[in-house]
Amino acid sequence: MPVEMRMWRIDGDEPKPLTASVLPAEKDLHEFLKRDPSLLGERLLVIGSEVITPYGPRLDLLAIDADGNLHLLELKRDKTPREVVAQVLDYGSWASTLSRDDIIDIATKHLDQPFEAAFEDVFGSAPPDELNGDLSLTIVAAELDASSERIVNYLRDFGVPVNAVFFSYLEDDGRRYLARSWLTASDDETPTATTGGKKSKRAAWNGLDWYVNFATHGRDWQDGLELGFVSAGGSARSSGTLRTIPVGHRVNVYVPGSGYVGVGVTLADAKRFDAALVLHEGEWTPLAQEKLRGNYQHIEPGQTETDDISEWVLPVRWLAAVPLAEAYSEPGLFYNPNTSCKLRQEFTLERLANRFDIDDDGE
C-alpha cells in the first residue's frame, strides 16, 4: 500500500491531527535538498545539481558521503513509476563508472570552493583516497504511489541499491512542518552497489611522495628541522611504514595541530635511534650525540631496546622547511593520524608545491 504520513498534536488527553498542507512543487524539494541534504537523515555534500549525463535528462542531485560514496537523488516529478525508476537506474549505471577525477571535475563546476575544502567543511576530514566505492540511488517524491513502492521493493530484494523517500507538509496553528518518511528504514540492511568500470576511483600515486606525521609525544620539530630527519617509534605500528620509505623519495611532513612544516628527500634508510646518522653541516654524525630538545627514547632504565619499541630515524635533505610557528594549513589538505603513507591527493601536493616552491622535478 502507498506510504502515508500523518501526525497528531497531543492537547491534554486528546490527539489533534495536523492538517495536511498544500504541497509545493517538487522543484521546491529540489532546492531544499540542495541547500540542506541532511534532510535525508545523513550528512551529505551535494557536488552537483542538474548534472549533465550522456543519457538524456539531467540528474537532479549528486551527493557524496563521508566515506566517499556517491548518492544519486532523483525527483519523481510528474513521471510514471516505471519512468522514474528506469531513469534513476540509468543514472546509476552511468555514475558507477565515474572515476575520482570525474567526480572532482563535477564538484569543481558546482561548488564555490575546491572540492577538498568543501568536503572537510562538511565532514571534518580530507576526502578518502578512494571515491565512488559504493553507490546509493534515491527517488524523492512529494507522495509515493503503490506502484513505485512495489517496484522499489522488488529491486531491493535483488540487491539493487535503490530506496525512496517522500516528504509531507503539515500545518498547525499557522505553522508548516516538513515530515520525511523512507520506504525502507535506514537501519535496515540497505544494499549498496560496489561500482565497477575500468576508470580509477582511487587517487593515483606518483611514485615519489609520502606523507609523514611528525607527532610530538616528546619529539621536537625544531630538532628535525635543524638536523634533517623525521622519526617515529614506540611501537611496530608507529614506526612500521616509516621504515619502508625508500631512499630518494620525497616526504611531506605534517605536525598535528599545526600543519605542514616541510618537504624533503630521504637520504638513507631509516635506522634505530641508537644507530641513526644525520647529515648535519655536511657531515654524517650520530643523532644520539647531538644536543636534542626532544626525547626519542621509549624504554625505562633496565629495559631492553627492541626494533619494535625503538625510535626509527629517517635522514632527510630539506627542499623547504619552516619553524612550527609558520606551519601551513588550510581546509581540505590531506591528514592521516598514522605515521606515514603514500600521499596521493593532488590537491595537497599542488598546494604544498606552491607553498614551499617545489618544482615538478622535486627540487
What is the model's pLDDT at position 26? 65
If you average pLDDT over residues 186-203, what whole number do you get? 56
How many percent of the chain have pLDDT more than 90?
45
pLDDT higher than threshold 50 for residue 1:
no
Quick check: 156 pLDDT over 90?
no
Task: In whole angstroms, give the CA distance from residue 14 to residue 266.
Answer: 75
CATH of domain 16-194: 3.40.1350.10
- Three cell numbers at 265? 628527500
| 13, pLDDT greater than 60 | yes
List phi, psi (to 5°) of 109. Answer: -70, -25
Which cell is 232 given?
A: 617515529
Mean pLDDT of the chain: 85
The string of pLDDT tens digits covering residues 265-302 is: 999 999 999 899 999 889 999 999 999 999 888 777 66
More confident residue, 203 or 21: 203
Residue 2 has pLDDT above 50, yes or no: no
Q: Where are the domains of the chain?
A: 16-194, 209-356
Q: Cell 534515491 belongs to which residue? A: 138
Determine the pLDDT at residue 192: 58
From CA 102, how far away is CA 67, in angstroms rounded? 17
Pairing status of strand 70-75 against strand 134-141: parallel
Which residues, 6+ apart, have CB-to-CB distance to 93 below 8 Å? Answer: none
Q: What is the mean predicted confidence (pLDDT) over 65-93?
A: 86
**Which residue type is seen at 306?**
T
Query: Where does residue 220 rank: exposed (0-12), middle (13-18), buried (19+ CB within 10 A)?
Result: middle
Whole-model pTM over 0.75: no
On whether the 209-356 domain is CATH 3.10.590, my answer is yes
C-alpha of 82 from chain center: 34
Please check the confidence at residue 115 and state whether its pLDDT lies above 60: yes
pLDDT digits (tens, 9 = 90+) for 324-353: 999 999 999 998 888 899 998 999 999 999
SS3 letters for 14-59?
A: EEEECEECCCCCHHHHHHHHHHCHHHHCCCCEEEEEEECCCCCCCE
Per-residue pLDDT, 204? 79
Range in 39-43, 74-78, 261-265 the model is least confident about: 74-78
Whether residue 125 is predicted with pLDDT greater than 70 in this model: the reply is yes
Contact 70, 95 (CB under 8 A): yes
User: What are the grid coordinates assigned to 179, written together?
Assistant: 515530515
The 10s digit of each residue's pLDDT in 229-260 is 999 988 888 888 898 899 999 999 999 999 99
